[in-house]
């Protein structure tokens, strides 16, 4: 065999072996249900990953509910775009706390009240059979600051309709959130431009 042919043959064998592994994995994954996905860690990419999932679900015409704990006074590009989608064709329900980062508001009671008001809307979505995807963006802060009761949140997520998926984002997710999640990805900051003195950019960071 000439050298390039030998290489092609080796590649083919490797891919056949890989295909067997992938096919076996696919054959094992038979359960059809929604999952809990948790994006945590201190690196960039948690909210953008959640919003990527929102566009995926909307692209198939599914009903999506987004709750943004923390955010709400700043502009954000994804909200500008997605909340302009034609209503008859896409079903997106976007709600936010409408307060600033807690170190800006410095008002515990107001933050707690805003978080609870938002949570009461999220609870309704978590009981709605028609809602395919629920995003609880920056939920970890609302829990870690004790604005919400963790037991109540965990139960509402666990008792959601079988086909509903929940995406939770935020730094510092505690073990109980990791325990109820089916998929946990930790974004680790190997580098972040901000630490190098580069300002957050419109359309990239928000
Ligand atoms: P993104 O919204 O860009 O996906 P994120 O949701 O992972 O980021 P958050 O922890 O919610 O990040 O942080 C909010 C803001 O801080 C965003 O503008 C984000 O881009 C930025 N950011 C994320 N990681 C870091 C970091 N390690 N250092 C500084 N700023 C960061
Ligand atoms: Mg975020």
Question: pLDDT by residue (tens digit) across 77-126?
Answer: 999 999 999 988 999 999 998 765 555 656 788 889 999 999 999 999 99
Q: Where are the domains of the chain?
A: 1-30, 33-196
| pLDDT of 67 higher than 80 | yes
Tell me the three state secondary structure of residue 145.
Answer: coil
Q: What percent of the chain has pLDDT over 90?
A: 76
- Cα(71) to centroid of ligand 2, in Å? 9
Question: pLDDT by residue (tens digit) across 7-61?
Answer: 899 999 999 999 998 888 888 888 899 999 999 999 999 999 999 999 999 999 9
Q: Does residue 187 line the site of ligand 1, with CB under 6 A? A: yes
Residue with tokens 């590649």: 11
> What atom of ligand 1 comes closest to residue 42's alpha carbon?
27
- The fold adopted by the segment(s) 33-196 is Rossmann fold (3.40.50)
> What is the rounded distance in angstroms from the CA atom of residue 29 to the CA atom of residue 159?
22
> What is the rounded distance in angstroms from the CA atom of residue 91 to the CA atom of residue 110?
30
> What is the rounded distance in angstroms from the CA atom of residue 68 to the CA atom of residue 49?
14
- Ligand 1 probe mutation, 47, 186, 195, most atoms within 8 A of CB: 47
| pLDDT of 1 higher than 60 | no
- What are the φ/ψ torsions at residue 127 (nearest 5 degrees)? -110, 0
Give the global pTM. 0.89
Residue with tokens 């107001």: 110
Q: Does residue 194 line the site of ligand 1, with CB under 6 A? A: yes
């Amino acid at each position: 065999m000439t050298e390039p042919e030998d290489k092609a043959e080796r590649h083919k064998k490797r891919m056949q072996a890989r295909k067997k592994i992938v096919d076996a994995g696919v054959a094992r994954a038979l359960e059809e249900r929604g999952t809990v996905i948790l994006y945590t860690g201190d690196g960039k990419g948690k909210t953008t990953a959640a919003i990527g999932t929102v566009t995926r679900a909307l692209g198939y015409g599914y009903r999506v509910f987004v709750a943004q704990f923390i955010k709400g006074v700043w502009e954000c590009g994804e909200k500008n775009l997605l909340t302009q989608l034609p209503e008859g064709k896409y079903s997106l329900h976007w709600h936010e706390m409408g307060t600033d980062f807690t170190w800006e508001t410095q008002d515990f009671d107001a933050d707690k009240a805003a978080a609870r008001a938002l949570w009461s809307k999220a609870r309704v979505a978590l009981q709605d059979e028609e809602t395919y995807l629920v995003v609880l963006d920056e939920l970890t802060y609302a829990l870690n600051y004790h604005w919400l009761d963790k037991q109540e949140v965990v139960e509402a997520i666990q008792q959601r309709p079988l086909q509903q998926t929940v995406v939770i984002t935020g730094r510092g997710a505690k073990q109980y959130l990791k325990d109820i999640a089916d998929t946990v990805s930790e974004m680790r900051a190997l580098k972040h431009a901000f630490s190098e003195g580069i300002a957050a950019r419109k359309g990239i960071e928000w």
